[in-house]
Structures are given as structure tokens and as C-alpha cells.
Chain A
Amino acid sequence: MENTSLWLKNKILLGMTPKEYLKINLTLPNLIAALILCVSVPIMVYRIIYGLGPSTNLSDNYPWGLWIGFDILVGIALAAPGLTLGTAVHLFGMKKYHPFVRPAILSSLLGYIFAVIALMFDLGRYYRIPYLLVWSWGFTSILFLIGWHFFLYINISIVEFSPVLFEWLNLKKWKDFFSKLTVWATIFGVIIAAGHQSALGALYLAARAKLYPLWYSPLLPIFFLLSAIFAGISMVIVESALSHRFFANQIKDFDHAEFDQLTLGLGKAASSALFIYFLLKVFDLVRTENWVYLNTSYGYLYLVEVLGFVLVPAMIFLYAVRQQNAKLTRFAGLLTVLGVVLNRLDVSIVAFNWYLPASQKYYPRWTEIMLTLGVITMLVLSYRFIVNRMAILHAHEESEPESMPMAGKKQAVNF
């Protein structure tokens, strides 16, 4: 009993008594998070009890709305940091990027888990999801491939993350065992991630009659995979900048110049991926002679997406790397991330059923937006919970310290 409460105090409450812990958590960001959850959790319950009809704007013309377009398509693309950084460091031996690996793997793990949680609200019969794995197999379906790949990839991410978890629990044997598996998990993970990132694009290969010609292409799987790669890199740039601001207490001997150098290195990689993507887009446009569609409102949207959110960030990255400007690199990273969000929403919602009159098109309901916001909030809170407790941003202290090192720095952070 004594031990358990001590463990609880040290591991979960960061060395504080429950009262202290609660007191320190009364902050504005936490209040906002609580407010969002107060609205979105009842919506989740409402969705379960009353079904999709009353809780969403989905229709027979729009079977997929925000919960697929944003939570899955955007969510999974932005959860690619584990793929990109894991590969770079564990496979290609770019050890200098090592500080980014753990945050990247954590964001991938949480990204996938919460995407699947969001998916449960969209599935009509979520309770049958095990059917996909053990009961009824639709081998011809792209979605079957994706379902299995999600399942496998979450498991891979768990293996990749295990060393951190067992470090935290002070189980050295377990930690060593899973550390040995990391390279294998990464190799398997690269293949699986490339498979399902492209498959998300391949989903829309079947919707040729419904997708606006500018977005429809046999190259959709390649577009989705490539954009997931630069989305993953850009997410690392953006996330690490945010982490270094909000979790400054976690990083002890922080070298600003080195961090900026690494950011520039990532910017270089993102820039190349963006340029390849842009060239492929141009090639595709010329090949299909689809430029006749450019002078329409959909065409303008397409141009904004491909020029404003692909070519422009690619140039900014290039310029920033030349100028050694880390700040500008971070801005380009943000722009790239927004571009991927726009692209996924265009494919799944805006350019989908483009021939329908505006009155029959899909606009997300406030309940859909709130539920998505709720899931994102839970993701951020989980991320913060783990970063504050486990060795994500800093190296692990080998021996268990007498008192938690955090205790002295209470004032600096919101837990």
C-alpha cells in the first residue's frame, strides 16, 4: 500500500501530493481543454445513442465527411514523423537526428491511436471492428489493406515506444529486449507505413466518377505517400519548435545552434520531397491535359493548393536553408502542414461530388467539428502527460533518484 501510493506520487503526480497536483493544474490552457471536453464528450455519447443521422451532416451522397477527411486522412498523414525520422535515424544511420526520434515515435503512436478512436465514431457498427481481423476478409478492398496496416502499425509503434515505457518503469531487462527489436520494428514499420499512406490515396482511385478531374489521377497513391513524407518531416519541424518552447524545463543542456542546424537539415529534406511532388503534379496535369479545368473555381482552388502550399513552401525551405534561417524554415514547415490539410480535405470533401449543387454538398456540422476537436484535445493532453513523465525530450537518468527532479521546477510548467 505504502509502495503503491509512493509510486503513484512519484510517477503519476510528479512527486506532488494530489492537492498540490490539482492546484498546479489550474491553468488557462487546462481550463480551455476541460471546456472543449465538456462539450465533445457529451457529443460522443450522443453519437453512440442516437446514431450518425442526428449527430452528423452525412448523407447518402456524402458517406464520408469530416471524421474521415480530417481525422483519418489528415491525421494519418500528420502522424508520419515516426516513419520519416525512424527511417532516417535507425535505418540510414543519421544519428545526429536522434533527439527527434522519440518525440516522433510518440506522436506517431498517439496519432494513430487517436485516429482509430475517432474512426470508431464514424463506423456504423464500430463494435464489429474485430470482424475485419478475424472473421470476414475482403481481400479485394483497399480499405482492408488499410485496416490491417493500421492494426500492424500501431503494434509496431508500441514496440518502438516500449523502451521508453520500460525505462520509465525501471524494468531494464524489458527495456533491453525491446531496444534490440527497434531496428526490426523500424524496417517493418517503413514498409507498412509506405503501404497504408499510399493506400489512403488509392481509396479514391475507385471514385473516378466522383472526384474532380484535377484531383483524380492514377498517381493518387504516390501523391499521398510523398505528401505524407513531407508532412511527416514538417510536423517534426513544427512539433519540435513547440516542444522546445513549452517543455523547456525538460531539456537541460539545450544547444540552440545545434537545434537550428538540425531544423535546417530537416528543411532541406522537406524541400526535396516537395519539389519532387510538385514536378509529379505538373507531369500529371500535362499528361492528362487537365489544364482545361484550371480556369474554374475548382481550378483556382487547385492552383492555391499546388502553388501556394507546395511550390511556395518548397521555395521558402530552399531559401531558408541557403540563408541558414531556422525561423523561416519553421514557417515553411507550418505552411506545408497546412497544405497537406487542405489537400486531404479537397480530395475527400470539396472535390468529391463536385457536380452536386451547393445546397446538396456537405458541410460539417458543429457536432462533428467539436468531436474532432475533442479527440485532438485528448491527443495533446496525452502527449503532454507522457512527455512530462517519460524520457522523450531528454535522456533517461539511469538510477532512480531519491526525489523526482521535477519537484523543484513546479512553477515553470503546466502538467
Chain B
Amino acid sequence: MGIDRREFLKRTAAIAGVTLLGGSSIAHAADKKDFSKFFTDNTANERDWKIWEKRKKQSQPNGEPYGILVDTTFCIGCRRCEWACNNWNKNPNQPVEKFEASVNEKNSVFNDVRRTHAGNFTVVNRFEKKDRDPVYVKKQCMHCVDPACLNACFVDAFRKTPEGPVIYNPNVCIGCRYCMVSCPFGIPAYEYFSAFHPQITKCTMCYDRVVDGRMPACVENCPAGALIFGSRSELIKTARRRIDSNPGRYINHIYGEQEAGGTSWLYLSPVDFDQIGLRTDVGTTPVPDLTKGYLLGVKIFEMVSAWPLVFGAYYAVSKLREHRNDKHAGGPSDTGKKT
């Protein structure tokens, strides 16, 4: 079976932990059978961070940043990308046949719209449409050009690599989870069931493969040609070409070209993006720009302008008081109260 002994024990312990005090919302959520929430000790983050540190020292020449184009019109919902991702990143996994079977099953994971979890970096969701075939949409970290998580992290645990992937360092993370709050796509997940060394997990865009000149595991395993790996700028041209030369097949928008300041993952869709689970209200401003102005303002205020203001007020008030005291010389002073 796909589950080994160690993992089984861990899951049992986690479930025991949940039931001991009477169930939490994690257990009550739509996909009850999804054990990926309880998974802990993923090693993908650490592996990638080590590679990044090594490459930083070597100062390798950087090419153009990579991206991945998801053409949802090609996706057949086989979920092989999920399998390949779990397989490469050592997440809880099942035989690939089980993933492939979902598309034909009546009761499958497709009944719910799923999100990423601690042991599940990518999920494929199905969106039923009235007058056409359902649309299958893969979901994972978008690897923003200007990432919200990186900006939010108060111990500087994220990096935007020159190759495109956004990676995370579990060795400095304090576990505040502000990256999860600020991510506009709702991607980072947390190892809630690790008591002593929980970490953030998310798609790594297979940084460890990309730096070796290989494509991410999901792209390599896609049998339908729905995922294309390449330089981001080339992919935008490809996407544009596809829209232009196939009238009616796509709506005229490349999701990710501008969203939240641009992302490494790009999407093409036959229907409006908000109908296939992609937020269209994230805007085109990078999330870091939403806080930059405030941060600069507060720093200037605290370091420069606050001091003269406060001192000035203090000085003015004490002058005024002196003046008043002089006037009422001999009278009861209002400063005479005992401390």
C-alpha cells in the first residue's frame, strides 16, 4: 500500500489528538478523508533552501525566470500532477491509478472544491458547466513576481529565486502564519499537527529540479499537454498566440500576467476565471505595494518627524504652564500634587 508504517502511526496519533477533546473544524471540513492536513515533517522546503544557499555562493549566471502555463482547455482531470507532486516531494501518496479513477467516480474528491494543505502542494478541482464540458483547474502556489508571503515574513524566511520559484526556509520560521494571512491566493498551508517543529508548506515549483535543468514533476507527468514549462515571457507570448489563433476557445485574458503584480504560473480558460476558482478581485497591484507606503511613513514619522513634534508640544506646554504659574504667583500651583 501507499502508506508506510511510520506514516500510519503518525496519522493515527494526529487523529487521536483531534478526537481526544472532541473534534476541531479541521476534522469537520468538507474533505474529511483528506489526511494531507495532518501530514508533518515535509523535507522539500529544507532541501530547496540548501540548494539555494549553495547556488548563492557560486553566483551562477541567471537566465530568464521560468514560468508554467496551464491551459485548462486541455486538462482532463487525471490528477497525475497531484500524484507526481506527492511522489517527488515525499508527501502522503496513493497509487497513481487511484488518482486517475476520480474523474469517472460518482463520489470523488471532485465533489468539493479543495485547497492546498500541509501534505498536499497541489490539487485539481472540477467546475461543472451547464452548456459545456467541466473545466478542470490545477491549483498550487502561483510564485508571484513580487510575493506577498516574502513581504509579510517578519523573519525573512522567503526568497524569490532568480529562476522564478519562491522558496521558504523552515529553519528561521517562528510560525506566526502572517504569510498565510497575506497570500491573496490562499496557498501557504501549515503543519498544525506538528507540536514542536511545524512549518509552512507550499508548492516549491520543484526548485531542486529546475536548477538541474529539469522541468517540475507535475509538468513532466502531464499526459494531456495542459502544462507547459518555459521562460515566463515566452509563455505569455505563447498564451497570447493561442488566444488570438483560436477564437471562441478561450476568453481573452491570461490569468497571472498582471494578477497581484504578475505570477510565474499563468492560466488560460474557456470561461471567466472567477467561475473556475481563481480570484479575479486580487487586483494588479503587488501585495507588498499595499503596505510599503504605510511602512515608509511610519519609519519617517518615528525616526524624524515625531521627535520635534513631541518635544515641541512638551516645550510649548511647559512654557504655557510657567506663564500661568507666574501669573498666579503665590497662589496654589497645579504642579504641586504629590507623586
Contacts and interface: CB of A to CB of B under 8 A. Distances in A.
Interface stretch (B75-83, B175-183, B207-215, B249-257): B175-183
A135 B181 CA distance: 23
A96 B335 CA distance: 9
B189 interface: yes
Interface string A109-127: 0000000000000011110
Contacts of A93: 317-318, 320-321, 335
Interface in A47-61: 48-61
Contacts of B176: 123-124, 143
B24 A144 contact: no
Interface string A81-119: 000000000011101101000000000000000000000
B295 A145 contact: yes
Contact of B152 (A141, A198, A210): A141
A302 B117 CA distance: 32
B82 to A, nearest CB: 17
Interface stretch (B54-62, B101-109, B278-286): B278-286
B25 A57 contact: yes
Interface residues of B, number: 79
Interface in B247-286: 279, 281-283
Contact of B190 (A57, A63, A179, A199): A63
A91 B192 contact: no
A141 B30 CA distance: 33
Contact of B310 (A64, A138, A141, A190): A190
Contacts of A92: 313-314, 317
A190 B307 CA distance: 10
A202 interface: yes
Contact of B148 (A52, A198, A206): A206
B151 A206 contact: yes
B156 A136 contact: yes
A145 B174 contact: no
A52 B14 CA distance: 11
A187 B306 CA distance: 9
Interface residues of A, number: 71
A91 B313 contact: yes
Interface in A26-72: 46, 48-61, 63-64
A363 interface: yes
A327 to B, nearest CB: 26
Contacts of A199: 294, 298
Contacts of A147: 154
Interface stretch (B4-12, B15-23, B88-96, B235-243): B15-23
Interface in A158-184: 163, 179, 183
A269 to B, nearest CB: 16
A359 interface: yes
Most chain B beta-carbon contacts within 10 A, residue among A136, A137, A199? A136
Given A53-B38, A190-B310, A128 B174 contact: yes
A203 B178 contact: yes
Chain A interface main SS type: helix
A367 B195 contact: no
Interface in B148-190: 148, 150-157, 172-178, 180-182, 184, 186, 188-190
A125 B28 CA distance: 26
B37 interface: yes
Contact of B182 (A54, A191, A206): A206
Contacts of A98: 337, 339
A194 B297 CA distance: 12
Contacts of A135: 155, 172
A362 B154 CA distance: 25
Given A60-B190, A132-B174, A209 B156 contact: no
A143 B174 CA distance: 12
A221 interface: yes
A395 interface: yes
A47 to B, nearest CB: 8
A208 B28 CA distance: 27
A60 B198 contact: no
Given A125-B198, A206-B291, A208-B290, A132 B154 contact: yes
Nearest to A55: B21
B40 to A, nearest CB: 9
A142 B291 contact: yes
14 contacts: A51-B196, A52-B192, A60-B37, A92-B314, A96-B334, A96-B337, A123-B176, A124-B175, A144-B155, A145-B298, A146-B154, A190-B310, A194-B306, A395-B338
